[in-house]
Structure formats: structure tokens, C-alpha cells
Amino acid sequence: MSQTDIEIVVDDPTAPEDDSPSVVSSGTIEIIVCLLLLALAVTLGYDNWRTGASWDATGPEPGYFPFYLSVILGGGSLYGLIAALLARRVVSASFVTRAQARRVMAVFVPTLLFCLVMQFLGLYVASFLLIAGFMRLVGKIALWKSLLTAFVFTAIMFVTFDVAFDVIMPKGPLEAALGR
Amino acid sequence: MEALGLLLHGFAVLLTGKTLVLMMVGLVLGIFVGVLPGLGGPNGVAILLPLTFTMDPTSAIVMLSCIYWGALFGGAITSILFNIPGEAWSVATTFDGYPMAQQGRAAEALTAAFTSSFVGSLVAVLLITFLAPMISSFALKFGPPEFFAVYLLTFCSFVGLGREAKHKTVISMSLGLLLAGVGMDTVSGNLRMTFGSADLLRGINFLVAVIGLFGISEILLTMEERLALRGHAASISLRVVLGVWKDLPKYWVTLLRSSFIGCWLGITPGGAIAASFMGYNLAKRFAKEPESFGKGRIEGVFAPETAAHASGTSALLPMLALGIPGSGTAAILLGGLMVWGLNPGPLLFVEHKDFVWGLIASMYLGNVVGLVLVLTTVPIFASILRVPFAAVAPMIVVSCAIGAYAIQNAMFDIWLMLGFGIVGYVFKKIGIPLAPFTLALVLGNRAEDAFRLSMIGSGGNLGVFWSNGLVGSITTLAIVLLFWPVIDGLLARVGWTTRTRATSP
């Protein structure tokens, strides 16, 4: 097989290493998720019981349908919990390795900040900051490229949604200063 | 033929300059999301849905469905050139597609993939054109019990026939149905599961959940992987295209078999992924020399691609005729229908003829235009992969946020989207399927209303679900499907079935 005709090569400088140690196993996460779902099922089940989950003259009361769904959800998560606990003795696959977790956080934390900043500065400023910051800090892309890409993308979004289609987005002081 | 006349009318609706432009835009965006790692049909449609909020329903559905066709086409490009399936349903295409590219036959493989995609969709669209109006006019006679029975059938077949662990499908589905019930109860007007929160009063919006589940979570998942790639560049010349097309009649059995499998699995909730593997495996089993598969055999590209596209397209049949989506993407399109103010269900064919036939006509036209577009622009789309993911990821996040906010202009929805992003990420990693959740969330209220209306009609007697032959057989079938694994196991023990099934390699 000749490798000479390969023309497109893209590198990933911050790729997670393959031999990174596991942070937590899938089995453990499965147990946690099942416990959370069980708690949710109990909470929702109780709330529906309070609303009224019995059968009156005209058929089921408002809480009837969701109450029994909570029972099914509870049953399913209980089964999942027991299955996961029993499977624990067997070596469980890794849920996420340390290197992978770092990369996931590298995108999750900026997304979280973006949602926070949006409340104060509006969506367009926040998205400019997110794109420029992410490209520069996580992607290690040249500063001017990052700023330019972020500006062009945000501008296109602004023109498409705010100017052309009149879709209202959260706005901040900058848009106010520009009179929009 | 009444259908033919209405279809021609559909083409007339479609052939305006504006709609054609939207179609092209949709296709290009679709191929784009299909090629990019970490984005696919459902994600692309979910993220780009807000663009259509201010359009009229016909233009909106034409653009969205073209995004879907484009994504189906785009998945094949990366499978063949880079050995990276852009979509789960393109995995089977890599088995023979990538070896062909390594042998310098990339152009041939791509042409085969695009052509068979086209054939698969065409068969499915023909099926929709003639079957959907019949089913919907039949379904016009349905009352609430019949509708509830059909919903029940959909849910049960997901549990009984799905490939995932049964309890995980049950968890996913009951969670979806529960969350669909949050907010105002439509029958009695009571509040449910709101815990006094004003934000929960509106309920949990289906599209917000979908954007989080498919958009945000997919970014998180993609970042976990090594994103470096190396692949072949290819351009397709007319000579290669004609060469492949000339040989096409030789493979008619494979094409027909895969189309049939695809249509069947598309209408039932088997999905395009199962269809592509099954198409590949059956082509291999019936071949004269099965060992040559996996080494660059053109049939190995024809078979899965035809099946995947036939399945992806025919998934829209139950959505149009009954208001029940056959796949995750169809469920999102259904969510779109509601946003545009249309009521999905059999009445669509009566009340919104322009919309339905415009959509069906756009399936024909979109696939022809799509075929020409991908054949001519492959080099451009392959080079999209040069754009670093660090630039694409934040743009997708921004698009998701715009989409989630635009639906109800609520900041709460942004946080909801983020929450569903985490849920989707965790669920996918521990194997809880998202498709049943999506389906349950979009159908939950309708299913409950149908149930309660039947109960009010019958004075609380469950016997109404067996009150006539039609509803009785649907309900019984649903229960049989729910317990199908158990029944199948029993039959196997008695020796009635041999349990030989095509399994994915």
C-alpha cells in the first residue's frame, strides 16, 4: 500500500494520550446514574401522588400517567443498579481517562463561562470571546486568526439573526451602545 | 393516479427561485455537518432548526430535509477517504470503501456510494409517495384508542426490538415520557411536577432538550478522541462516474435487497445503522466469493449505502402519515412541524396539501441535486476536514445556544440545554440509548392525551383497546413486541426458530 497519494493530513497537538490512567470506571458511573434516576423517580412519583394518581369516574386523574411512569423509571433504574453492582466484580471498562477528562473540561468549562457571560454581555459578545479564546488557548491557533475568525463568525450570526431574520437574542451593553 | 397529480402540484410549489436556493443551502450545510466529525444528521437538523423559525412551513421543511439528505451523503465522504465514519450508519461503508481508496480507486468508491445513496432514497421516496397517502387516509378513521395503540406499538417495538440492554431502553423512554408531562396538564389544566418553579411551568421544550442531547454532548464526546487524521484526496471525473453507472445493472439484486431492508428498518424503528450492517452482511452472505469482501469490493459499498439511505428516507413515512417519527432525526423534524404551527398526523394530508407534497417533491429533487452536488464538489468538502476542530467546536456551541434561546426567548432554556448536554454525554458513554428518549419526549403528551380521551370515552374501561379488530390487533401486536425477546427465546427452546440473525461484525 503506497502512502504517497495521501494528501490531507491534520494534526491534533493536544490529543489525549492513549495510556492515560482511568479516572473512574463505567460501572461506578452507571451506579451513580441509576441512584440519581431512582431519586428522581421517587421525587416525581411523590409529587404525582400528591396531585392525584387514582382513577376517578372520568378515568385517570392528572397524576395517574406520570405516577406509573415514575414507577417504571424507578424499576428500571433499580434493575440497572443491581445489574451494575453485580457486574462490579468483573473488571469494568474505563468511563473516562485523565487525559480525556482534561479535554472534555477544556470544552465544557468555556461553554459554562459562555452561558454565564451571555447573561451580562449578551450573546454576540460572549460568542466572540468564546470562539477567540477557545481557538487561541485550547487550539493553539495564531492570535490574529483566532480574533478574525471569531469576529467574522459573530458578525455573520448577528446579521443573519438580528438584522435579517429578527430573531431576538440576549443583548448587552455593546449592542445598546450601537443602538440596536 | 391522484398521488401523481398531487406530486406534480408539489413540484410546482417547489420550483420557485427562493425554495431552490434554500434547497441548495440546506444541502451544502448538510454535507458540511455530515463531513465534520462530531456532527451528524440529528445534530445538524437540531442546530440549524432555529434558522427556519421565521420561514413559512414549506420552505422550512424543504431546507431542513435537505440538511438531512446532505448529512446522509456527507457521511460517506469521510468513511471512504479517511476511514473515519462521519456517521454511525457509514461504519459499514468503511469496510470496503477505504480499501478501495487505498488502491487508488477512491473516485470509483465515492461514485458508488453516492449513486447507491441516490437509489436507496429513490426507492424509499417512491414508497412514501404511494403508501403515505393511503395510510393517512386509512388513519383518518382512527379515534383516540387507535392512536394510543399505535403509540404503544412504537414504544413497545423500541424496547422489544432495540439492540441495547432492555432496562436501559426502558429507563430512557420512561424518563422522556415523564419529562414530557412536566408543566400544565392539557386535559385538566392542573400543574404537574413543577415544584413551584415558574420556568418549569412552560414544560421542558423538546427542541431545547434535543439541542443539548445531540449538539453539546456530541462536542464533549468528540473532544475525547484523537482528532488527527490522514486521508486520500480525490476528485471525480465524468469517465469514472459513467464507468460505475455502466456496471450498475450488474448489481441490481444487491441494490434491490438493500433498498428493501432499508425501507423495512426505516419504517419500524430499526434505523439506518442496523440497516447498513444488515445490507452489508446479506450482500456478503449471498456473494459467490464472500472472502473478497473487506478488500475493496464495490458491492461492499453499494450494499450498506443503499440500505442506510433507504432507511433514513423511509423513516419519514410514519412521521408524515401518522405523526409518529421512525428515527431520531424524524422526531426532530416532527418537533419542527409543531413550532411552525402544524399539527402532525393524518390530517396533514388533508389540511396542508402544499406542505406535504412540497416535502415529498423536495425529496425527489433534493436527492437529484444532492447527487450532482456531491459528485462535483467532493474535493472541497474533503478539505473541510483541514479546518481545526478547535475552531469548529466553539462555533457549534454558539449555534446551539442561539437555537435553544430562540425557541422561547428564555435564559432558563440555555441552562436546560447545558444540563441535557451533560445528560447526553453520560448516557451515551454508559450505553443508555437517546433515540427512545427523544421519541418519548416528542410523543409523550400526545400519547397521554390519546389514552385519557379513550378512557373518558369508555368510562374508564381498559377493554376499549380491544373493542374492535383493528385496535385490538395493534394493541396485541404491541404487547407481543414488548415481550419479543422472551417469546423468541421460548420459541428457540422449543426449536421453532433457529435464531440465525445477521449480526454486526
Which of A29, A107, A170 lies closest to B220 in CB terms?
Answer: A107
Res B504: pLDDT: 38
Res B500: pLDDT: 44
Residue B162 DSSP label: -
- Tell me which residues of chain A, numbers 96 to 115, contact chain B at a CB-CB cutoff of 8 Å: 96, 100, 103-104, 106-108, 110-112, 114-115
* Cell 381498559, residue located: B462
Cα separation, A154 vs A161, whole angstroms:
10
Closest chain B CA to residue A79: B167
pTM: predicted TM-score of the whole model, two decimal places:
0.85
Q: Is it the case that residue A5 has pLDDT exceeding 60? A: no
Per the CB < 8 Å rule, is B167 touching A83? yes
Cα separation, B308 vs B26, whole angstroms:
20
Average pLDDT, chain A: 84
* B192 strand-pairing partners: B183
* Cell 385538566, residue located: B188
Q: Note whether A9 contacts B: Cβ–Cβ < 8 A.
A: yes
Q: What is the pLDDT along chain B (505 residues), one digit of tens a residue?
A: 577 777 787 787 777 778 888 888 888 888 888 777 666 667 778 777 777 777 788 888 888 888 888 887 887 888 888 887 766 777 888 888 888 888 888 888 888 888 888 888 899 999 988 888 888 888 888 888 888 888 888 888 888 777 778 888 899 999 999 998 888 777 777 777 777 777 787 888 888 898 888 888 888 888 887 776 777 777 777 888 888 888 888 888 888 888 888 888 887 766 677 788 888 888 888 877 778 888 888 888 888 889 888 888 888 888 888 888 877 778 888 888 887 878 888 888 888 888 888 888 888 888 888 888 888 888 777 777 778 888 888 988 998 898 888 888 889 999 999 999 999 999 988 888 888 888 888 888 888 888 888 887 877 777 888 888 888 888 888 888 888 888 888 888 777 655 444 443 3
Cα separation, B31 vs B287, whole angstroms:
32
Residue B286: helix, strand or coil by DSSP? helix
Task: Please report, as a single letter, which amino acid is at residue A124.
Answer: Y
Q: Length of chain A in residues, anyone? A: 180
Res A144: pLDDT: 92
Cα separation, A59 vs B41, whole angstroms:
41
CB B181 within 8 A of CB B386: no
Residue B85 or residue A127, greater confidence = A127
Residue B390 DSSP label: H
Q: How confident is the model at residue A172 (pLDDT cuts 50, 70, 90)?
A: confident
Task: Please report, as a single letter, which amino acid is at residue B150.
Answer: V
Q: Note whether B418 contacts A: Cβ–Cβ < 8 A.
A: yes
CA A66 to chain centre: 26
Residue B407 or residue A30, greater confidence = A30
Res A124: pLDDT: 92
Q: Provide mean pLDDT across the span A94-110.
A: 87
Res A75: pLDDT: 92
Residue B230: helix, strand or coil by DSSP? strand
Cα separation, A125 vs A118, whole angstroms:
8
- Tell me which residues of chain A, numbers 64 to 93, contact chain B at a CB-CB cutoff of 8 Å: 65-66, 69-70, 72-73, 75-77, 79-80, 83
Q: Note whether A51 contacts B: Cβ–Cβ < 8 A.
A: yes
Q: Is it the case that residue A68 has pLDDT exceeding 60? A: yes
Res B438: pLDDT: 86
CA count, 13 A, side-chain hemisphere, B118? 20
From residue B492, alpha-carbon distances to A166, A172, B253, B270, B495 in Å are: 61, 66, 31, 22, 5
CA B385 to chain centre: 24
Three-class HEC string of chain A: CCCCCEEEEECCCCCCCCCCCEEEEHHHHHHHHHHHHHHHHHHHHHHHHHHHCCEECCEECCCHHHHHHHHHHHHHHHHHHHHHHHHCCCCCCEEEEHHHHHHHHHHHHHHHHHHHHHHHHEHHHHHHHHHHHHHHHHCCCCHHHHHHHHHHHHHHHHHHHHHHCCCCCCECHHHHHCCC
3-state percent breakdown (helix, strand, coil) of chain B, nearest 5: 75, 0, 20
